[in-house]
C-alpha cells in the first residue's frame, strides 16, 4: 500500500475505501477487536452491573474498618489528595462522601509549584497539630514509605488509596491499609483504574457498610460516578472495561449533574448541559480545574464542588482568569521551547529558568506529540531545585527512562506516558545525556497515523455520528476513529480564534460542500492554498451549542492528493 507523506511530516497508509454505513460499522468494530456478538453487545451497551465488587480489592476490608471506626468515634480525618484533575476529583469524592456518612473530615493538597506530588513531611507536621487521627490519601501515597512512617510516628494512622505503579522498596508498610489495584497480590480484575476510580471503589464499599437498603446506596453513589468519570478521562487511563463503564455512565449522569458549581461552569462555558462528552471534559472542565493549581491555588477548584453555592460564580470567574493566563503562558513557553529543538534527537530536553512549573506538562505534552519522541520540560523551582514534567508518545515508557538513571533524581515518579522529577540544578546536562542515550537504544519506527477508512462524503451524517456515540467515549485505549477523504478541493482557508491559532478549511469533495476545523494549526497554515486538492484525515463528532446540533469535522492531518 502506498505510504502518504503529510504536511505535518507524519505518514499514513491508505485504508479501505468505503461508501456504505454498515460496511464502515463492520470495519470500526473489527479494528477494536469486537468480533463476536457478545463482545459487541457488552462494548456498545455496558452495564453498571458489570462493575466489580470493591471488596475484591486488596486492603479494602482493612481500610473500610479503620474509616468506619473513625466515623463512630468522631476522630478527625484528613484526605490527602493531589492537585491534578484526577487528584481533585478523588479528593472531592472522599471528602464529600465521608461527610455524608457522618465523618469529621477536611482535606489537604500539596502545592504543584513548591511541593510536587505526594505526602510531604511539613504538611504532615501541620496536620498532626490539629488533632488528626486518620489520613486517607487519594491519587498519591503508594511510594511514600518514609512519609507514612513520619505520620505514624506523629500518632496518625494512614490509609493509602492510589493507582500509581508501586516502586520496589518504597511500599508504605506502616500504612493501616493500602488500596491500589496495581500492588502485588491484589487480584482485582481491573488494574487500570484512575485515582478517582479507586476513590469511587472505596466510597462504594463504605456505602455498602453504612446503608441497609439498595435505594439509599443508589441515591448516594451516582454523584460520585460523575467525578470518577471526570478523573478517569482527564488522567488518560485506558477507557476499556471498568473505566469505560465509569466514563460512559458518569458522562451521562453529568447532564443532570448533582454538583451546582459544575452545572454553573458548564452553563457559562459549554452552552448548557445538554451535550456533554469526553471533549467537554478535555476542553472545558479539565483545563479549568488544572489551571487552579498551575497558576493560582487548587483550593478554587476543590471548593467549586465542596463550597457554598453563593461563591460559585466568583470561583468560576477566577478559574477562567487562571485558565486564560495558563493559555498565554503556555503559548509563550512553547515558542521559547521551539528554539531549543534538536532535529532528529531521540529525546528532547527543554529548559528555561523562568518557566512556570505549572505549565511544564503542557509544553512537554505538545512537543512530544509534535516530535513523536519522549520529552522533558524543565525549570527552576522557587527553592532552587530543578523540576521537570516528562511526556512520551505511544511505544515509549517515560517511567522506564527515568528509572534507568534514577540515581540522578532526588524524587521521580509517574507512568509510561507521563512522569516527572525533581533534582539538583547541576544535574541537568547529565540527565539530558543519560536519557538521550536510553531512548536512542529504544528508538521506535515512526508509527503511521491509523486511518480506519477512506469514506465518501455522503456517509458523514447523523446515522454515523449516532454509531460513533455508541463507540465512545474515546481516549486512551479506545482511539477516536480517524477517517480519510480523497481529493478535497479547497475553496477557502480562514484563520479563527482569539489567539488566531485555529484554521477553518472550506471546500468540496464529490460534489458535497464540507468544512473542517483545524485546532492549533500553525504547522498547516502555510501549506494550504485555495484551489489545491488535498487528502484530509479527520475525526467526526457532534457539537451542540445553545441547542443547535452540528456535525463537526476536525482535521488530524492533510497531505497532497
Ligand atoms: Mn492519577
Residue range(s) of every CATH 2.40.50.460 domain in the chain: 3-45+448-560
Q: What is the fold of 340-441?
A: Diaminopimelate Epimerase; Chain A, domain 1 (3.10.310)
Distance CA 143, CA 47 (A): 34
Task: Output the CA 428–ligand 1 centroid distance in Å.
Answer: 27
Q: Identify the CATH number of the domain defined by range 3-45+448-560.
A: 2.40.50.460
Task: Output the CA 194–ligand 1 centroid distance in Å.
Answer: 5
Task: Output the CA 139–ligand 1 centroid distance in Å.
Answer: 5
Distance CA 309, CA 318 (A): 15
CB 110 within 8 A of CB 422: no
What is the pLDDT, as a whole number, of residue 2?
58
Distance CA 341, CA 348 (A): 7
What is the pLDDT, as a whole number, of residue 168?
86
Name the DSSP letter for residue 117: S
Task: Output the CA 116–ligand 1 centroid distance in Å.
Answer: 13
Distance CA 444, CA 45 (A): 36
Residue range(s) of every CATH 3.90.1640.30 domain in the chain: 49-254
Q: Which residue has the cell 474509616?
A: 67
Task: Output the CA 199–ligand 1 centroid distance in Å.
Answer: 11
Task: Output the CA 160–ligand 1 centroid distance in Å.
Answer: 13
Task: Output the CA 479–ligand 1 centroid distance in Å.
Answer: 20
What is the pLDDT, as a whole number, of residue 484?
96
CB 539 within 8 A of CB 485: no
Task: Output the CA 525–ligand 1 centroid distance in Å.
Answer: 36
Distance in Å from the first CA to the final CA of the chain: 15
Task: Output the CA 180–ligand 1 centroid distance in Å.
Answer: 12
Task: Output the CA 46–ligand 1 centroid distance in Å.
Answer: 24
Task: Output the CA 275–ligand 1 centroid distance in Å.
Answer: 26
Task: Output the CA 80–ligand 1 centroid distance in Å.
Answer: 13
Task: Output the CA 223–ligand 1 centroid distance in Å.
Answer: 19
Task: Output the CA 87–ligand 1 centroid distance in Å.
Answer: 6
Task: Output the CA 235–ligand 1 centroid distance in Å.
Answer: 6
- Statement: the pTM of the whole predicted model exceeds 0.75: yes
Task: Output the CA 476–ligand 1 centroid distance in Å.
Answer: 14
Distance CA 406, CA 412 (A): 8
What is the pLDDT, as a whole number, of residue 3?
67
What is the pLDDT, as a whole number, of residue 113?
86
Task: Output the CA 200–ligand 1 centroid distance in Å.
Answer: 13
Question: If residue 468 lies in a helix (H) or strand (E), which one and from where to where?
Answer: helix 462-471
Measured in residues, the chain has a length of: 561
What 3-state DSSP class applies to 222?
Answer: helix
CATH class of 49-254: alpha beta
Task: Output the CA 63–ligand 1 centroid distance in Å.
Answer: 20
Task: Output the CA 350–ligand 1 centroid distance in Å.
Answer: 24
Task: Output the CA 499–ligand 1 centroid distance in Å.
Answer: 31
Task: Output the CA 90–ligand 1 centroid distance in Å.
Answer: 9
What is the pLDDT, as a whole number, of residue 246?
98
Q: What is the CA radius of gyration of the chain?
A: 24
Task: Output the CA 104–ligand 1 centroid distance in Å.
Answer: 25
What is the pLDDT, as a whole number, of residue 372?
87
Distance CA 436, CA 372 (A): 14
Task: Output the CA 214–ligand 1 centroid distance in Å.
Answer: 30
Residue range(s) of every CATH 3.10.310.30 domain in the chain: 340-441
Tens digit of each residue's pLDDT, the chain (561 residues): 556 778 887 888 877 999 999 999 999 999 999 999 999 999 999 999 989 999 999 999 999 999 999 999 999 999 999 999 999 999 999 999 999 999 999 999 999 988 888 999 999 999 999 999 999 999 999 999 999 999 999 999 999 999 998 988 999 999 999 999 999 999 999 999 999 999 999 999 999 999 999 999 999 999 999 999 999 999 989 999 999 999 999 999 999 999 999 999 999 998 889 899 999 999 999 999 999 999 999 999 999 999 999 999 999 999 999 999 999 999 999 999 999 999 999 999 999 999 999 999 999 999 998 888 999 999 999 899 999 999 999 889 999 999 999 999 999 988 888 999 999 999 999 999 999 999 999 877 777 889 999 999 999 999 999 999 999 999 989 999 999 999 999 999 999 987 788 999 999 999 999 999 998 887 788 899 999 999 999 999 998 776 788 999 999 999 988
Task: Output the CA 59–ligand 1 centroid distance in Å.
Answer: 19
Task: Output the CA 20–ligand 1 centroid distance in Å.
Answer: 41
Task: Output the CA 163–ligand 1 centroid distance in Å.
Answer: 7
Task: Output the CA 283–ligand 1 centroid distance in Å.
Answer: 18
Task: Output the CA 197–ligand 1 centroid distance in Å.
Answer: 9
Task: Output the CA 516–ligand 1 centroid distance in Å.
Answer: 34
Task: Output the CA 523–ligand 1 centroid distance in Å.
Answer: 32
Amino acid at each position: 500500500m502506498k505510504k502518504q507523506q503529510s504536511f505535518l511530516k507524519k505518514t499514513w497508509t491508505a485504508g479501505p475505501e468505503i461508501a456504505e454505513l454498515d460496511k464502515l460499522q463492520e470495519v470500526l468494530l473489527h479494528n477494536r477487536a469486537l468480533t463476536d456478538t457478545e463482545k459487541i453487545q457488552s462494548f456498545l451497551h455496558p452495564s453498571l452491573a458489570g462493575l466489580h465488587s470493591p471488596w475484591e480489592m486488596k486492603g479494602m476490608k482493612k481500610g473500610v474498618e479503620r474509616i468506619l471506626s473513625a466515623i463512630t468515634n468522631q476522630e478527625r480525618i484528613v484526605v490527602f489528595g493531589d492537585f491534578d484533575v484526577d487528584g481533585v476529583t478523588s479528593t472531592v469524592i472522599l471528602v464529600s462522601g465521608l461527610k455524608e456518612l457522618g465523618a469529621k473530615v477536611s482535606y489537604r493538597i500539596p502545592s504543584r509549584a513548591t511541593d510536587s506530588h505526594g505526602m510531604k513531611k511539613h504538611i504532615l507536621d501541620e496536620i498532626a497539630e490539629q488533632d488528626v487521627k486518620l489520613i486517607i490519601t487519594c491519587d498519591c501515597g503508594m511510594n511514600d514509605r518514609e512519609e507514612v512512617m513520619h505520620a505514624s510516628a506523629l500518632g496518625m494512622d494512614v490509609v493509602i488509596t492510589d493507582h500509581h505503579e508501586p516502586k520496589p522498596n518504597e511500599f508504605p508498610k506502616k500504612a493501616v491499609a493500602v488500596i491500589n489495584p496495581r500492588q502485588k497480590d491484589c487480584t482485582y480484575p481491573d488494574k487500570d483504574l484512575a485515582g478517582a476510580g479507586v476513590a469511587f471503589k472505596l466510597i462504594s464499599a463504605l456505602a455498602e457498610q453504612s446503608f441497609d437498603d439498595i435505594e439509599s446506596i443508589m441515591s448516594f453513589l451516582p454523584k460520585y460516578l460523575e467525578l470518577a468519570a471526570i478523573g478517569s478521562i482527564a488522567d488518560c487511563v485506558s477507557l476499556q472495561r471498568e473505566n469505560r463503564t465509569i466514563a460512559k455512565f458518569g458522562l451521562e449522569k453529568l447532564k443532570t449533574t448533582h454538583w451546582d458549581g459544575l452545572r454553573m461552569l458548564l452553563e457559562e462555558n459549554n452552552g448548557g448541559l445538554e451535550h456533554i462528552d469526553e471533549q467537554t471534559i478535555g476542553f472545558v472542565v479539565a483545563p479549568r480545574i488544572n489551571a487552579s493549581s498551575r497558576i493560582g491555588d487548587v483550593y478554587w477548584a476543590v471548593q467549586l464542588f465542596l463550597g457554598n453555592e453563593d461563591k460559585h460564580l466568583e470561583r468560576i470567574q477566577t478559574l477562567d482568569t487562571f485558565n486564560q493566563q495558563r493559555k498565554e503562558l503556555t503559548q509563550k513557553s512553547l515558542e521559547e521551547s521551539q528554539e531549543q529543538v534538536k532535529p532528529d534527537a531521540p529525546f528532547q530536553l527543554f529548559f528555561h529558568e523562568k518557566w512556570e512549573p505549572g505549565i511544564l506538562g503542557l509544553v512537554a505534552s505538545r512537543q512530544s506529540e509534535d516530535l513523536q519522541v519522549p520529552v522533558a520540560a524543565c525549570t527552576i523551582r522557587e527553592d532552587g531545585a530543578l523540576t521537570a514534567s516528562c511526556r512520551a508518545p505511544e511505544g515509549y515508557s517515560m517511567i522506564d527512562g527515568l528509572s534507568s538513571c534514577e540515581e540522578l533524581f532526588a524524587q521521580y515518579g509517574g507512568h509510561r506516558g507521563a512522569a516527572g522529577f525533581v533534582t539538583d540544578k547541576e544535574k541537568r546536562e547529565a540527565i539530558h545525556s543519560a536519557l538521550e542515550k536510553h531512548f536512542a537504544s529504544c528508538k521506535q519506527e515512526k508509527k503511521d497515523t491509523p486511518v480506519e477508512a477512506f469514506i465518501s462524503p455522503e456517509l458523514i451524517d447523523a446515522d454515523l455520528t449516532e454509531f460513533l456515540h455508541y463507540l465512545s467515549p474515546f481516549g486512551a485505549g479506545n482511539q477516536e476513529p480517524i477517517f480519510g477523504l480523497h481529493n478535497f478541493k479547497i475553496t477557502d482557508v480562514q484563520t479563527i480564534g482569539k489567539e488566531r491559532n485555529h484554521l477553518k478549511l472550506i471546500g468540496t469533495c464529490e460534489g458535497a460542500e464540507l468544512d473542517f476545523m483545524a485546532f492549533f494549526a500553525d504547522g498547516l497554515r502555510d501549506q494550504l492554498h485555495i484551489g489545491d486538492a488535498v487528502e484530509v484525515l479527520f475525526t467526526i463528532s457532534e457539537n451542540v451549542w445553545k441547542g443547535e446540533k452540528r456535525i463537526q469535522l476536525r482535521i488530524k492531518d492533510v497531505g497532497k492528493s
